[in-house]
Amino acid sequence: MSKELQREVLKTFKQLHRTRLNTFKGDNYALDYIRKKINDEYRKYKNVTDENSIKELNKFASEVEHEVKTTVIQAVEKERGRFELNVKKEHLIENVPPPGTPLPKYGKKCSQTPKPKPS
């Protein structure tokens, strides 16, 4: 494996762990579980020598990192049965307003529409 590809794989590995630390902050069980899972997956493929396969695996790891970063939202129980979501900037997509923003009102309400007359 070329040095450049080694650097790329190491960079993705470190990025996965940084994302793990940010996504599951304060949840020791999840942090330990995900750390073990990441390390196990990398160990499982450590003997792969084909550069195309390594590039494909690294691309997959980058996609997983992006998916975790943008779709996993941590819920923290503040009191029994009451949770608070840790929504980050990465979770928000361009066409969706931030949480707490009132939604615009469009047209009439369904209950105000006239009902068809029976024939």
SS3 for the chain, per residue?
CCHHHHHHHHHHHHHHHHHHHHHCCCCHHHHHHHHHHHHHHHHHCCCCCCHHHHHHHHHHHHHHHHHHHHHCCEEEEEECCEEEEECCHHHCCCCCCCCCCCCCCCCCCHHHCCCCCCC
Mean pLDDT of the 109-115 span = 56
**Of 42, 49, 47, nearest in space to 16 by CA:** 42
> Is the pLDDT confidence value at 3 over 80?
yes
Q: What is the pLDDT of residue 77?
A: 81
pLDDT digits (tens, 9 = 90+) for 48-83: 989 999 999 999 999 999 988 888 888 888 889 888
Return d(Cα 82, Cα 115) in angstroms, integer.
Answer: 41
What is the average per-residue pLDDT within 10-27?
92
Confidence of residue 44 (pLDDT cuts 50, 70, 90): very high
Mean pLDDT score across all residues of the chain? 84
Q: Residue 5 pLDDT > 80, yes or no?
A: yes
Tally of CB atoms within 10 A around 78: 9
Domain limits of the chain?
Answer: 3-91
